[in-house]
Amino acid sequence: MTLTAEQFDRIKGYLPIQRGNVRTENLTFIRALLYVAENGCTWRALPTEYGNWNSVYKKANRWAKAGVLERVFAALQKEQIIAVAIEVLAMDSTSIKVHPDAHGALKKKKTSHREVKGRLEHQASCGIRG
């Protein structure tokens, strides 16, 4: 889906004001977000026409933390620009490194806090030979 300039003008009021040295306009940024959401691609696979993938990712991360992305997607639906039920918006979180104990790896055998040297196999635990 490509967002037109007229559609962007309808949701412009929901976006924060751009300040400072901005390389990517909000229209291009929203188009990049819609591209990633529609195609399910990684940020690195974002076409160069949308700008540097890392810059787009960082801006999306800031907007997500500030709640702007939620407002933008709600506005897109309110203005009937997109018609999908977005309950959870999660991008680029498909692989998470887990501790080996969490996924069933073999655990190391624990040794006793003190080691008894010279213990015979036929010796009972109480120290009496059988």
The tens digit of pLDDT for each residue in 45-84 reads: 999 999 999 999 999 999 999 999 888 888 888 888 877 6
Helix (H, G, I), strand (E, B) or coil at 121: coil
Q: Is residue 103 part of a domain?
A: no
* pLDDT recorded at residue 104: 66
The helix/strand/coil state of 129 is strand
Question: Domain total for the chain?
Answer: 1
| 67 inside domain | yes
pLDDT digits (tens, 9 = 90+) for 84-93: 665 666 655 5
Give residue 130's identity as a one-letter amino acid code: G
Cα distance between residue 93 and residue 56, in whole Å: 16
Domain assignment of residue 69, given as a range: 5-78
Centroid of chain to Cα 43: 11
Residue 28 lies in a domain: yes
| Predicted pLDDT at 53 | 93
Residue 114 lies in a domain: no
Asked if 10 and 38 count as a contact pair (C-beta separation under 8 A), the reply is no
Other Cβ atoms less than 10 A from the Cβ of 60: the count is: 20
The pLDDT score that the predictor gives to residue 46 is 92
